[in-house]
Chain A
Amino acid sequence: MADMKTPLAKVHGLGSAKDGTHHWMVQRMTALANIPLVIFMVVSFVGNAGKGHAEWVAWLKQPLVSVLVILFLANFVYHMRLGLQVVVEDYVHDKGTKIATMVLITFACVLIAALSIFSVLRIAFGG
C-alpha cells in the first residue's frame, strides 16, 4: 500500500521508535520478578499483622528483609510506570494531555520510589 506521508509526518506520528519490544519485555520481566516479591511481601504482612512500631522496625532492619523490600519497591514501581503508560496511550488521545499525563505519572513514580526506598534505608541504617 502506498504511503503518502512525508518522512517528517511519520516522525510526528510518534510511531515505532524501535523501543516497543523493550517496553514489552521489561514489563514482562518485572512481572515475573514481582511474583516471588509479592508473595514475600504478603507473607510478611500477614506474619506481622497487628504488630507495633518496634516489631515492624526490627523486621525491616534485617539485612535480607531490607534488600527484598527495596527490590520489591524498585521492581513494582518500574512495572507500574510501564503499565500506566500503556493505559494512558490507550485512553488519552490528545497529544498535549497525553504528554502532560505521562510526565506527571513519571514524576509521581520516581517520588514514590525515592520516598519508600529512602524510608527503608533510614530504618535499615538508623540507630
Chain B
Amino acid sequence: MAQVKRPLSPHLQVYRWGWHMAASIINRATGVALAFGSILLTWWLVAMATGHDYFDQVQGYAGSIIGRLVLFGITFALMQHLAGGIRHLFMDAGKLYELKANTSSARLTFVFSIVMTIVIWVAAYKVMGVM
C-alpha cells in the first residue's frame, strides 16, 4: 500500500514565531528538561540516604560552577513550566483564547519565570549568608 509522505505535525517551520508559539514550545522543552532534572533530584536523595560523606560529595558537585549553572537552568525551567502549565489550565477551562489575552498571557509566563528565578536565587544566597 503506497503511502503519501505528508508532513506530520508539529511542522514548526511553516509558522511565524510569536509569543504564544514560543510559550507552547518552551512549555514542552522545559518539561523534557525537568525530566532530566528529576534524575539529579533522585541522585541527591539517594546520596542523602547513603550517608554524610557521599552527600557532601554530591553537594560539592551541586555547588560547583557547572552545578550552579545546571541548577539555575532547572530553576528557570521549573518556573517557566509552572507558569506555562497554569496558563494551559486556564486554556483548558476555555479562557485566554482571544488573540490579545493569549499573547499577553504567553509573554507573562516569561516575565514570571525570569523574575521568580532571580528571586529564588537571591533568596537562597541570602539564606546562605553570601548576599
Q: Is A68 an interface residue (CB 8 A)?
A: no
Within 8 Å by CB of A53, from B39, B52, B129, lies B52
Q: Taking beta carbons and an 8 Å cutoff, which residues of B are in contact with A? A: 8-10, 28, 31-32, 34-35, 38-39, 41-42, 45-46, 48-49, 51-52, 55-56, 59, 78, 82, 85-86, 88-89, 92, 120, 123-125, 127-129
Within 8 Å by CB of B35, from A28, A47, A80, lies A80
Chain A 71-89 per-residue mask, 1 if CB under 8 angstroms from chain B, else 0: 0000011001001100100
Given contacts A112-B39, A112-B42, contact A45 B52 (CB under 8 A): no
Chain B residue at smallest Cβ distance from A54: B52
Q: Which residues of B contact A76 (CB under 8 A)?
A: 38
Per the bound structure, the CA–CA distance linking A35 and B81 in Å amounts to: 10
Q: How far is the CB of A38 from chain B (nearest CB, A)?
A: 6
Given contacts A53-B52, A80-B34, contact A38 B78 (CB under 8 A): yes
Per the bound structure, the CA–CA distance linking A119 and B88 in Å amounts to: 33
